[in-house]
Amino acid sequence: MKKVEALIKPFKLDDVKEALQALGLKGMTVSEARGFGRQKGHTELYRGAEYVVDFLPKLKIEIVIEDSLVDDVLRAITEAAQSGRIGDGKIFVTTVERAVRIRTGETDAAAL
């Protein structure tokens, strides 16, 4: 099993969700996050004063999937979240050793 964590722009959430549902994925966890990468934030003007916004709003999507779905999921997220502009986000894939569905006690792939 693999855990896919994607950091995306907030306005791309619906597109990513639809792309993942089209693959047959039934669940995901979405968290609000703030951060910056190469774009290093931006400058804003508020009431005549200029200030730097270091941390930009992002969404973090987490899903755990079977190994065979990784390439399809990465492709779906990349295509749905891509705007072609700096700050589109990142995707990280890590190995998951165990999974347990608390309600039923099912483990590993059956728990997904």
CA dist., res. 87 & res. 92, Å (int): 15
CA dist., res. 43 & res. 13, Å (int): 25
* pLDDT tens profile 13-30: 999 999 999 999 989 999
Q: Which CATH number covers residue 80? A: 3.30.70.120
**How many domains, in total, are found in the chain?**
1
What is the extent of the structural domain holding 80? 2-111
CA dist., res. 112 & res. 95, Å (int): 14
The residues, any chain, with a CB within 8 Å of residue 32's CB and separated by 6 or more, are: 57, 58, 59, 60
The residues, any chain, with a CB within 8 Å of residue 55's CB and separated by 6 or more, are: 34, 35, 36, 41
* pLDDT tens profile 23-75: 999 899 999 998 877 766 666 666 777 666 677 889 999 999 999 999 999 99
* pLDDT tens profile 74-95: 999 999 999 988 889 999 999 9
